[in-house]
Structure 1
């Protein structure tokens, strides 16, 4: 089945054949006669035969991949050894569509053993053991495929991985002790999961995530919550398919892949261990529905944050976003929008204005039965705020002028920093709207925080909209390096410090100032980024008022997790918080983020 992620992986596989850039070669090529698959795999993550020629490796074909550039087939030895650490399966990389080979064929294969690193060595990913440049012979056909090894809640250990503060590549596999070692010991083998719950909805690349541990950090909607760096969800497994893309199920979180799902266990850069199914279970819907929050009371101010994922005038999602704001969020008084693109989206021609984008959304909200919002934003300098090239994404405020007024103070632009002053003994912004420290290295090639001053029923509320730098470049949870490096945190920590210090300056001017800091923080509620933002009582992340099982706004690789947050100053004592799940758990999402909403009486 043509999968974009598999195609990306495939392209890298081709590169591995042509160059050594993504391939681990431990020894000079030498000849090795008549080895078995478990000899090739060995009892660590790196084959003892890496870089060597092997001849007449025997096995039964368990699956054939005919799409993309990562083409080839898996073979498995029907006569395993007694060592549970040594896999009995391996991928034979042919590059082009393998001809004359099918599941059930008994084959002999000669070729070079390679350790291919999906994403390249700099990614930190584990490697996939392959036989490359193969010459193979079909000995017989119609043989029984080796029985699939069940992956179950009982077979997968509770501990995730050893943590040597370095690479795990050379450590002996302990499949009964560590989950990642268990999966590695099955690399390339025919495996099976049964009656598994979906914890990551079908994505545009025809992939989904399931768990073999139904109660592992489960939330009420069927997902698996990621609540700590030290509490990994070991039962998660990515599912792809060897069948047609059109036959892949459209699954939501909480659905069940009933019956058996069987196929070879692969490893790729976009999810780690992946069951590439030649036999998919049957999708059974859980009937998951999009959530709706309650409307704010007359005396409550409702403030929301919503990442609308690269919205520009050419998109066909305006009506859906408008319905989400009106129906699911009940028309908040103030909405902080992230990822508003300029008027021609990704076209890179110097355009930075986004008035058409915002007007389109406002008109759609009116058509959906909502209020006619007003808006405030500051256009960024061209190509200075990151995001999709040419898109010039930025934060913007929508506000309902029938309930909230905006205090305009001129002077704010792409490069002028906002500051804090006092007006009649109260904290005020020098520019409203204004950008916090736009020239700082903290916000280089990233979105600059947008501060605005609002009045609700005679009370001033300062709102700071954020979109911190992404986690791109961090090592994955299945990295060969444990614990994985999170290099992207460095910039977020600087950003968090800048926003914290600006908030602290407001509180110095007015101790009981009501400040709401919100947006796509791109980090967890338990992260150091959040700790820096909060400081010693300057702010508090209100998502932590929810039960732990309800704290999530995003689903990544089957982990339901917090990326979007609303933080408040101490004078906001009584409030209601809701993470409104309308996108992240659904295959037909209009954004990959769920909006968050806070209601309080200023």
Structure 2
């Protein structure tokens, strides 16, 4: 199976040529009569023997990895000590295809090292290894140590201890408490043979042949089988990533709610793309839950339907236009206005100065017509080349689609990539100075990020202001399994500035016309309970309408076993006080054959 692990800083061999004679420091080997695997692993996340050469460490080979840049094998001591904090397993990094087999009894001599998947800058925990090994096979065909059962009763409900303030918030040096904290429990099993049984899938198979299960079937479960992420302080401790030591082609294609029936077993690894991972030498049998894609309700004659849909870097070369069109027509019931995020320019990621996106948008509109939908019109503003982030050369932007038979767009000249849209009062009503227009595009809050697109629509004589957003992504944030607890969410800094700018613009509209209908929507890239959402909502200027759903239904995205909110539709008081309907339409995030990683959202109301 291909591996995404491409960098091993701790395993590089560096030759230094100096003009003066350098001293060579020799490390005395630690002998096998005193050192076993639990001595190497120790009672914290960092080995007490890191950097030390060890000799003739005994164990049984439990699994072998022969692919990718992380070739090696897992070694486990069948004679465990009586300390639950010390793991009895360790990964032996060979760099080339190992010459051992499962069941071999071996001794290993080498250097104990701490490898940080993804590099130290990620803040990830490290993986204790033996590197540069010399391996001696003593016998073959031995019984593999029995797999430790990981289940709802063994995994603590508390997620992690707080990091040591004297160590910049790191948990690396803290003594493990595996009966108290979930992360400590998983760390105490690092490298050991473990098993789960009859586990429900909570993130579908991804393109890298990975999936997530939960060993806690009742933990924040929702009706479609996922595990909902409800707050920073209420982590889902039963989540566990599953990979396989087998061929990629044999990895199961599963959706949320499906079950891996029977036993799934293998060594517990740690990687940069999800943390603790069961690398399965034995996979359970798939039992399908038969999950189906949702369809929202059709808007009535007097209801305006407004949707947001991230179409994930759509460009003319993609093969998903018919599927996106079918989703808009059938699953979303042809909304009157659709805010599209991640529309790329006419040649996608080719970085040649192309910025226009008319080919991309018109190809989607044509596909919608072919699917039986309306002939949408569209408005957008072309960005300056390579200034709005996203895939290099792609020039992603937000685009308004609208059904001209149901709603009209108020065109007002003056909007471009660098001109800020303003608000004026005409006959006692708010108007945009440019429609479409961009909100404060020169503000440093939008550096290398998408600028909000504002437009003025009219439905049955009533003006509705719509602001399409795609805020700064979460890229660069520390993961939930980071060595720093709580993890640093560095991307929030820019998102908070962006939310402040959008809220200020909404305030301009509402200060001009108190009862104006304003919708701020799109890929907010943050949760409904986040400070980003609170800044957007301000002092009641807006309200995230997904909060009208039960907590178990609040999700638009599924990441590492957590169903969460990234896409939102926020509404002004004039809309909130009247009747409205909100739907998160689950057509993508739960499925292995998704055409986007986001689920669209639909709001229906009477202006």
In the superposition, the TM-score normalised over structure 2's length comes to 0.96
Question: Equivalents in 1 of 2:14, 2:593: separation in Å?
Answer: 39
Write out aligned runs for 1:452-471 (5 A): 452-471=455-474
Query: Which residue matches 2:594?
Result: 589
2:224 matches 1:228: no
In the comparison of the two structures, how many residue pairs are matched? 590
Find 1:17's aligned residue among 12, 16, 25. 12
2:74 matches 1:74: yes
Query: Which residue matches 2:22?
Result: none
Q: CA deviation at 1:511?
A: 0.2
Question: Equivalents in 2 of 1:52, 1:63: separation in Å?
Answer: 24
Contact 1:28–1:51, Cα closer than 8 Å, also in 2: no
Query: Which residue matches 1:300?
Result: 303
Question: Equivalents in 1 of 2:29, 2:541: separation in Å?
Answer: 66
Find 1:376's aligned residue among 379, 400, 423. 379
Write out aligned runs for 1:291-330 (5 A): 291-330=294-333
2:109 matches 1:110: yes
Aligned partner of residue 30 in structure 2, secondary structure? strand
2:490 matches 1:492: no
Write out aligned runs for 1:11-90 (5 A): 11-13=6-8, 16-18=11-13, 29-34=27-32, 35-90=35-90
Question: Deviations for 1:527-557, whole angstroms, at most 9, x for unmatched residues?
Answer: 0000000001110000000000000000000
Q: CA deviation at 1:121?
A: 0.8
Write out aligned runs for 1:55-454 (5 A): 55-99=55-99, 101-164=100-163, 165=165, 166-454=169-457
Query: Which residue matches 2:507?
Result: 504
Question: Equivalents in 1 of 2:83, 2:438: separation in Å?
Answer: 61
Contact 1:28–1:52, Cα closer than 8 Å, also in 2: no
Question: Equivalents in 2 of 1:28, 1:220: separation in Å?
Answer: 60
Aligned partner of residue 267 in structure 2, secondary structure? strand
Contact 2:11–2:131, Cα closer than 8 Å, also in 1: no
Q: CA deviation at 1:14?
A: 6.1
Question: Equivalents in 2 of 1:319, 1:281: separation in Å?
Answer: 35
Contact 1:352–1:380, Cα closer than 8 Å, also in 2: yes
Q: CA deviation at 1:19?
A: 6.2
Find 1:8's aligned residue among 4, 7, 13. 4
161-170 or 563-572: bigger deviation:
161-170
Question: Equivalents in 1 of 2:540, 2:14: separation in Å?
Answer: 53
Contact 1:407–1:432, Cα closer than 8 Å, also in 2: yes
4+ residue stretches of structure 1 with deviation over 2 A? 13-20, 27-31
Write out aligned runs for 1:514-593 (5 A): 514-572=517-575, 573=577, 574-593=579-598
Aligned partner of residue 482 in structure 1, secondary structure? coil
Query: Which residue matches 1:24?
Result: none
Contact 1:30–1:51, Cα closer than 8 Å, also in 2: no
> RMSD across aligned C-alpha pairs, in angstroms?
1.1
Q: CA deviation at 1:16?
A: 3.4
Question: Equivalents in 2 of 1:409, 1:28: separation in Å?
Answer: 76
Contact 1:113–1:129, Cα closer than 8 Å, also in 2: yes
In the superposition, the TM-score normalised over structure 1's length comes to 0.97
Question: Deviations for 1:89-111, whole angstroms, at most 9, x for unmatched residues?
Answer: 00000011112x11000000000
Aligned partner of residue 18 in structure 1, secondary structure? coil
Question: Equivalents in 1 of 2:291, 2:177: separation in Å?
Answer: 38
Contact 1:17–1:132, Cα closer than 8 Å, also in 2: no
